[in-house]
Copies of this chain bind each other. A is one copy, B any other.
Amino acid sequence: MSAANPQFLKFIDENQDAFIQRLAEAVAIPSVSGDPAYRPDVHRMGDWLASKLESLGVKVEKRPLGKQILEGQELDLPSALLGELGNDPKKKTLLIYGHFDVQPASMSDGWKHPPFELTIDPEGSGKLFGRGSSDDKGPILGWLNVIEAHVKLGLELPVNLKMCFEGMEESGSEGLDELISEEKDKFFKGVDCVCISDNYWLNTTTPCLTYGLRGIAYFKISVSGPARDLHSGVFGATVHEPMTDLIHLMSKLVTTDGKILIPGLMDLVAPLTDEERKRYEVINASIKDFDDAVGAAITFSDDKVATLMGRMRYPSLSLHGIEGAFYGAGCKTVIPAAVHGKFSIRLVPNLTLNEVTKLVCDYVNAEFAKIKTKSKMTVEMLHGGEPWVADPNHYSYRAAHKATESVYGCAPDYTREGGSIPVTLSFADALKCNVLLLPMGRGDDGAHSTNEKLDTDNFIRGSKLLGSYLYELAVAE
């Protein structure tokens, strides 16, 4: 039994073609934030979105975020859009977030269709191919669809909406944290909860609500010895080699079956509750899904729950590579003078960046003291972000749960993402309120890859889901 107005749901169904047409307009603007050549298109995309919002009665403020230096050029950052629709003190106020910039894309990467022309799959699958279709223009336009339906039908929205749309998400959300911090007691004042639609279902069939993200601590171990690279014929078996020392240190960080060897680190992980375990048990997933996703049968565990928890609620340690060593094809016989091992740890509650950094540095220093070498070693944390987890029993999640049931006829999976969406933590920290990640797209949308797509069904039912969520949120307690 849906709380949503049936007229709204009907409007969405009846206007599918126009919605796809509007998505095609958005995809046609190649708003690649990471390439200076496309910066005018990012600005243009912001203007396009602002004018669409304004035409539907949204009060929009374009907020300049200053300048940046990119590839040697000084560029204006794309303005963030702060939108407001409704300010009835009797209604809840929801902040929605999305980003209108995209990842780079070109035919030469292997696209089947021009990436900046939305292409309805000629094979009839209903897939809408195009860069940004799923990440994140589709979800933003989902909100537009919801607002348009209400305006055209003369219906009131069940909640007040505040909006924050940015054009730099794919390039580190430059300038956004400062904006959130400045406006937390001004524009963002009165926000009851936040909804972000910028992630994906775990699989291709089951809607989900996402209530956690892992943080990250990225480390560099630097080992140096000789003043310059040496010839292994001339100096092999005479001097300590930094590469040997580094490989020994890197071999002490994690076992081949994924156990993190940093003493004390696993003790910090929040204990697993029964309630939480049940959430993983009911997730619609299988080991085969993982095998398919990576293209090989290489999961640590044959157990679905253990594997899901590996991604979502436990830390991981990955060795990424070595800077300064030989990396080419062929047979260079160098003894590298200085090498830098790179690894990162994905953080989960209750690991904090500070504690993990101290544990790692203390351990690496202690292990280095044990090995016989005259090399020099330093270890440092290069960048990091805290983990985030929300209360999935909050009324916002219960509202999204009900909306999912009414639109999809099934309960959503409750997932946590293994990676990071830093803006989530920024909102949660600054506004001190619940944040819900409510994805529109499927796990195979290929957000940062070639042939990114959004299924028509996800676009249309996703728009209904976002609107239904507003209705459920209005009455949730």
A interface residue numbers (CB < 8 A to B):
214, 216, 218, 225-228, 230-241, 243-245, 247-248, 250-251, 254-258, 290, 293-300, 307, 310-311, 314-323, 325-329, 331-336, 342, 344, 346, 371-375, 382-383, 417-420
Q: Other than A241-B258, A320-B332, give 19 A-B pairs with Cβ distance below 8 A.
A: A228-B294, A235-B294, A235-B311, A235-B418, A237-B310, A237-B418, A238-B316, A238-B418, A240-B298, A240-B300, A244-B256, A247-B247, A320-B326, A320-B335, A321-B322, A323-B327, A327-B327, A331-B382, A331-B383
A298 to B372, CA, bound (A): 11
- Chain B residues with Cβ below 8 Å from A314 are 237
- Chain B residues with Cβ below 8 Å from A243 are 318-321
**Quick check: B251 and A256 within 8 Å, CB to CB?**
no
Of all chain B residues, the one with the shortest Cβ separation from A382 is: B331
**Quick check: B237 and A298 within 8 Å, CB to CB?**
no
**Quick check: B257 and A297 within 8 Å, CB to CB?**
no
Of all chain B residues, the one with the shortest Cβ separation from A420 is: B233
- Chain B residues with Cβ below 8 Å from A245 are 256
A420 to B232, CA, bound (A): 11
Which residue of B214, B251, B297, B321 is within 8 Å of A251 (Cβ)? B251
Of all chain B residues, the one with the shortest Cβ separation from A309 is: B237
**Quick check: B332 and A256 within 8 Å, CB to CB?**
no
- Chain B residues with Cβ below 8 Å from A254 are 244
**Quick check: B333 and A236 within 8 Å, CB to CB?**
no
Which residue of B233, B300, B321, B372 is within 8 Å of A325 (Cβ)? B321
A418 to B231, CA, bound (A): 9
**Quick check: B226 and A372 within 8 Å, CB to CB?**
no
- Chain B residues with Cβ below 8 Å from A316 are 232, 236-238
Top-7 shortest CB links A-B: A227-B295, A233-B419, A236-B316, A321-B326, A237-B316, A321-B325, A251-B251
Which residue of B238, B257, B329, B344 is within 8 Å of A232 (Cβ)? B344
How far apart are A432's CB and chain B's nearest CB, in angstroms? Answer: 25
- Chain B residues with Cβ below 8 Å from A307 are 238
Max chain B Cβ within 10 angstroms of own Cβ: one of A228, A295, A314, A325: A325
**Quick check: A373 and B256 within 8 Å, CB to CB?**
yes
- Chain B residues with Cβ below 8 Å from A238 are 290, 299-300, 307, 310-311, 316, 418
- Chain B residues with Cβ below 8 Å from A295 are 226-228
Of all chain B residues, the one with the shortest Cβ separation from A236 is: B316
- Chain B residues with Cβ below 8 Å from A230 are 294
How far apart are A193's CB and chain B's nearest CB, in angstroms? Answer: 25
A97 to B342, CA, bound (A): 47
**Quick check: B236 and A346 within 8 Å, CB to CB?**
yes
- Chain B residues with Cβ below 8 Å from A333 are 216, 218, 318, 320, 344
**Quick check: B244 and A319 within 8 Å, CB to CB?**
yes
A247 to B246, CA, bound (A): 10
Of all chain B residues, the one with the shortest Cβ separation from A234 is: B418
- Chain B residues with Cβ below 8 Å from A326 are 320-321, 323, 342
A230 to B294, CA, bound (A): 7
Given contacts A251-B247, A317-B236, A321-B326, is CB(A296)–CB(B227) below 8 Å?
Answer: yes
How far apart are A288's CB and chain B's nearest CB, in angstroms? Answer: 13
- Chain B residues with Cβ below 8 Å from A417 are 233-234
How far apart are A104's CB and chain B's nearest CB, in angstroms? Answer: 16
- Chain B residues with Cβ below 8 Å from A247 are 247, 250-251, 319
**Quick check: B322 and A233 within 8 Å, CB to CB?**
no
Given contacts A258-B240, A331-B382, A372-B257, is CB(A322)–CB(B322) below 8 Å?
Answer: yes
Max chain B Cβ within 10 angstroms of own Cβ: one of A244, A256, A373: A256
8 contacts between A and B (CB under 8 A): A231-B419, A234-B418, A234-B419, A235-B293, A237-B418, A239-B300, A321-B326, A331-B342
Given contacts A251-B247, A256-B245, A256-B372, is CB(A296)–CB(B236) below 8 Å?
Answer: no
Which residue of B235, B311, B371 is within 8 Å of A234 (Cβ)? B311
**Quick check: A240 and B218 within 8 Å, CB to CB?**
no
How far apart are A346's CB and chain B's nearest CB, in angstroms? Answer: 5
A195 to B430, CA, bound (A): 79
How far apart are A311's CB and chain B's nearest CB, in angstroms? Answer: 5
How far apart are A265's CB and chain B's nearest CB, in angstroms? Answer: 12
A322 to B332, CA, bound (A): 11
